[in-house]
Chain A
């Protein structure tokens, strides 16, 4: 047999004597015997052209050296949001999601031995349906963008129609993902205008675009650019009148104080669960929220759903996967989606987060975010040539700052801010050139008034020199 290089800490049977014993018990001469069915032409080229392994200590040092080249929100004062948002993650959450019983478990195919995760997912579904005021939530999709893709496909399946209307100021990467989910099955995306001054949906334009082909209309609430649509109810009614579904995309914390989509006739709600107790992690993994209204839509829902039931003897409450006939492992090509692996651990963190906050905590958090948003508007709008917010509307957590009259562009401004240890807002000039030199800024509970004042002072300094 090939002499194994070394006994390996993760491979208990890597010691030669154990291997020899096992081989002899099954009548094999060598490990190579077990690979003899691989054709020589393939086998001969199989040597891995990668480095030799390193010890745990060496690996740790190497990784720490690499990671040290990153500047996190601890190192930089950052005002980026735009789909992934900086929040404080309570320490209790990291402690629980690191527990091996949760962390190293698989999809709960055997419910009797997986009740912990199943119950946590049932709780997650309940908390999300409460927050959104929708009837049902699944136990997670990959992220907001893929949840939106699934929502458009579900709207098309449920209505038998093939046009999906999206608003102009949708998060562009979300739009790009939506296209990838829609185009192959012939769903056509149609853009509806938003008012240049307020950002509100142009209802006349929406009226023109709705038709008997409309599968659904998608509204981001709050919008990607932070303003909050005031006519969500009217939009819902218009969509329903046309026989389509109303799909709403939300950042979930905002629903602690904003009228929830379930109360303005949303049929499907999607969103990004990262801010609910999950770290930004350079944009992944994320947590796709997906909720819907009514049983006919429930049957069309993608992804895993957990149900509460009992044991067969009727003596204990128990949980298990429900409505599995929608899923690929049963239904194969007729499934509602191909999703299998989801984001359960992040959903667990979200459940913990919403439970820790409670009704008072989420209200308090939202009020704090509003306070920071307003404080930032107040400090920044007074800088000469700067318009903040760019849109005349109520904003939550994020708003657009326009620099057109300062004579500087966003990329210059951000470069100067970075020199001062500040990561400025997201440059919108490539995605939305009609907004001129504009940037999307995000303010959450992690930003103190002093932090915001520091940003304002620095901006003033940059713009007035």
Chain B
């Protein structure tokens, strides 16, 4: 049992342009040469492209093979455990994708007569309602395309609120030092200054420091709870009060929502604004980087500022409401990522109140099980808040291992790849030395957790035996350790095949 064997495909697949051979095509032509010539002749000379773009000339089967091979050089949740902290890489139920493959969603146009889109409008309306109830907010916008986009929307909502209530001089957004990088970046995008508050010895916000940080300049606080150490900020109610007393608003970064469904609602903690990563907690596939969706929920006093349109129901029909005089405007074109929301809606219906609570419970159980087992392995530790249970994730430190053997957190992560286990998030949060931020989620089995724990144990043994393995890993992946410095050096950087620099290749 728990034999750690993995071998990723190695195709050495060239860039698709190198598979090109003049004359081939992967597309069923639509017109005759005659029609094409006649149509092209209607283009005024000065507007006409001199020659067609140098796209690959390649048949359909070759395109399919190329990308199937590339897929085999890629790791996903469907292949194995993917414990990236704060990313919630849980299983994405196949039924959600099957439903979203219907032409009744794929081939809908956002401007079609709303009478002909009552089904999707009802889905969007009901999804908003369910999400609002899960996070304890009054009103939801489904527009933001991702978590960070939701954060920017949230910061703009704070800005609109303060402008309306005489707080236009407020220009400081407070974030804990353990915050996700998107929080300060989103605040800065709205032109705000970022003020960092330190964590205390328990890994939570230092409330004394927070009291000193707030004031008449405070726009609000952006915080995730559980925080990035996986620790529940138990003083959250006081934290929210401190910010509210200073006239600020409190923003919930929903990246870590998976831990608390059915256990705690941001609305009850004192939050005014919440974003929700549907591609994390609500299991929509992350597609190698995106799409995601980042709906934002707010309390009543902020509802008038939400972006337009919102989806409403008048008792007989569902409709898009653009009539919001106080709206911040639009954060994107159209009405949001409907196909992503549809999947999340399906996921919520499948799970229901009991299933979502179970998801949170088992996600937390899995994380604590792993944390307790891993901290006992030589070289690893679990800094901050001794004895306090973690929530959905935990941050392991390899600092002892690193000091004693030279093997770093990064190398531990790379060596895990050899076992068919994705690395945790490395070197984050920055308040932990040699950090491995680990989030197993509820969708891994005990067998897989034990296999991963064995993997860590094996790496520790290798490190203390001064084996080369951790330092030279990975070996089982489609390529060995990648030279990331070369990818950034001015002389060798290459970002398209059109700038192939012969002297720099290989």
Contact = CB atoms under 8 A, between A and B. Distances in A.
A46 B76 contact: no
B72 interface: yes
Given A96-B68, A309-B486, A363 B106 contact: no
B35 A76 contact: no
Nearest to B328: A180
Given A37-B234, A106-B289, A117-B289, A337 B337 contact: no
Interface stretch (A212-220, A282-290, A379-387, A453-461): A282-290
Given A4-B358, A10-B91, A67-B104, A96 B71 contact: yes
Interface in B350-364: 350-359, 361-362, 364
Contacts of B181: 327-332, 335, 340
A306 interface: yes
B352 A53 contact: yes
Contacts of B486: 309-310
B492 interface: yes
B49 to A, nearest CB: 5
Interface string A45-88: 11111111110100110111011111111111010101110100
Contacts of A146: 145, 149, 331-332
Contacts of B67: 96, 120, 348, 352
Interface stretch (B58-66, B241-249, B395-403, B457-465): B58-66
Given A67-B105, A116-B73, A259 B329 contact: no
B36 A367 contact: yes
A159 interface: no
Interface in B326-340: 328-340
B48 A36 contact: no
A284 B35 CA distance: 34
Nearest to A55: B350
Contact of B47 (A66, A68, A228, A322): A228
Contacts of A31: 361, 364-365
A204 B8 CA distance: 61
Interface residues of B, number: 209
A333 B333 contact: no
Contacts of B277: 341
Q: Which residue, of B289, B428, B445, has the highest number of chain A Cβ atoms within 10 A?
A: B289
Contact of A11 (B359, B388, B492): B359
A71 B112 CA distance: 9
A414 B115 CA distance: 12
A413 interface: no
Contacts of B70: 115-117, 119-120
Contact of A106 (B84, B122, B156, B331): B84
A285 B482 contact: no
Interface string B116-156: 11111011000000100110100000000111110110001
A335 to B, nearest CB: 5
Interface in B43-83: 43-44, 46-50, 52-58, 60, 63-64, 66-79, 82
Given A143-B145, A283-B336, A358-B26, A12 B417 contact: no
Contacts of A319: 482, 487
A117 B67 CA distance: 9
A255 B49 contact: yes
A364 interface: yes
Contact of B27 (A180, A298, A358): A358
- Residue with the greatest number of chain A CB neighbours at <10 A, chosen from B40, B136, B350, B389: B350
A450 interface: no
B146 A284 contact: no
Contact of A281 (B47, B49, B108): B108
B495 interface: yes
B334 A284 contact: yes
Contacts of B111: 80, 82, 84, 426
Given A341-B147, A368-B39, A107 B353 contact: no
Given A62-B349, A283-B333, A338-B186, A305 B146 contact: no
A68 B118 CA distance: 9
Interface string A297-323: 010000011111111111111111111
A115 B288 CA distance: 11
Contact of B330 (A173, A258, A322): A173
B164 interface: no
B63 A356 contact: yes
B71 A76 contact: no
B411 interface: no
B353 A51 contact: yes
Contact of B286 (A68, A338, A341): A341
B101 interface: yes
Given A50-B130, A114-B75, A59 B95 contact: yes
B301 interface: no
Interface stretch (A131-139, A191-199, A238-246, A402-410): A131-139
Contacts of A256: 49, 52-53
A280 B110 CA distance: 8
Contacts of A167: none
B336 A131 contact: no
Interface residues of A, number: 205
Contacts of A338: 148-149, 151-152, 182, 185-186, 188-189
A12 B354 contact: no
B479 interface: yes
Given A101-B71, A101-B79, A257-B43, A423 B113 contact: yes
A34 B74 contact: no
Contact of A100 (B12, B78, B87, B194): B78
A60 B104 CA distance: 14
A80 B112 contact: yes
Given A63-B99, A115-B479, A306 B414 contact: no
Contacts of B42: 370, 374, 394
B15 interface: yes
Contact of B488 (A49, A258, A322, A394): A322
Contact of A259 (B50, B71, B189, B487): B50
B88 to A, nearest CB: 10
A92 interface: yes
A108 interface: yes
Contacts of A23: 365
B110 A371 contact: no
A86 to B, nearest CB: 7
A208 interface: no
A34 B72 CA distance: 38
B389 A344 contact: no
Interface in B474-498: 474, 477-484, 486-488, 492-498
Given A368-B35, A371-B39, 9 more contacts: A70-B108, A80-B112, A96-B67, A109-B425, A111-B479, A230-B46, A343-B287, A355-B55, A355-B66
28 contacts: A11-B442, A43-B263, A53-B353, A60-B99, A90-B27, A92-B26, A104-B79, A107-B87, A108-B288, A109-B425, A112-B480, A129-B496, A255-B49, A259-B47, A281-B337, A307-B493, A309-B484, A309-B487, A322-B493, A333-B187, A340-B181, A341-B294, A343-B289, A346-B287, A356-B63, A359-B53, A360-B25, A368-B31
7 A-B pairs closest in CB distance: A53-B352, A345-B287, A100-B78, A283-B110, A283-B334, A116-B74, A344-B289
